[in-house]
Structure 1
Amino acid sequence: MKKYQKNQITSMSQPSSNQQQIMNHYQQILKLTLNINSQVIRYVAKLNKQDQLIKIKKQQKYCLNNLNNRFIIMPLMYLKLIKTIVSIQQLIRQKHANLDHTISIIFTIQI
């Protein structure tokens, strides 16, 4: 009986080859899991960074569009409006000149 107890005690203190293989596999699984988890974390961080860059690009595009609308398009429209007003004034002057000429011709004919 003492021999059995002694063998049992030594078997408890030193793992068998099966137990050692199980522990080795468990450690490998843990390493793989940690590796996969770190890869997933890096991938998610990369996606978050890309999302942030996309948001920044959209915001920059929105700001540029607003700037274009306010500081480029509006002055161009203002200049176009000024040119249109000037051309209308020129047309009115020409019509007045033609009308004055026509009136002076009519008065000279009547006299």
Structure 2
Amino acid sequence: MSIGERDKFKVEVQMKIKIDVSPIATFKWNEDNAQKLRELREKSGYSRRKLSEEVGVSTTYIHQLEAPHLFINKPGKPKEITVSTDILQKLCAALGGEVATLIWDIE
């Protein structure tokens, strides 16, 4: 088979990676994570309020996770946001995603 013929038979492979995050207590949260969470929430059709009820956290906390720049490095506010593994797992369970896709660049 020639190179040109092989190009016709390219196969796209999608791989799901399951990562055990149980030994990790918290993750540092940034704008990339926030954008991924917001996109996943909107794609799933959840409002912030509905998601907060599903996960058992406040609507303000969901807002903080989706817009960390509004909450960090302000007077009296923390310099960074961390999120517990437990909350991330609950968010992902509600939204049908994996923790790894929120934290790392894994599609």
Normalised by the length of structure 2, the TM-score is 0.19
More strand as a share of residues: 2
User: Which has the greater radius of gyration?
Assistant: 1
Normalised by the length of structure 1, the TM-score is 0.18
